[in-house]
Amino acid sequence: MNPDDEARAYQIARELIAKHGDEVAAVLQAKIDELMALKDLEQLSAWFVIRNAVALTLVSDTTVH
């Protein structure tokens, strides 16, 4: 993954957290489940990266306060 892709994943993660708040995990899991059903491995891979970025963002937000 190149730095631009990683930066984009974190940008999407922050947008998802802002939009969905406490429901972000459920939204991510629904998207991943949908992509698994479609067998869209390229998009699935991207959403796993986004899910990890969300998790890391949430952890870093809670440890900063």
Number of structural domains (the chain) is 1
pTM over 0.75: yes
What is the C-alpha separation between 55 and 49, in angstroms, rounded? Answer: 10
* Tens of pLDDT, residues 11-60: 999 999 999 999 999 999 999 999 999 999 999 999 999 999 999 999 98
Q: How far is CA 39 from CA 13, 24, 50, 65, in A?
A: 23, 22, 18, 40
Residue type, 25: A
d(CA 3, CA 31): 24
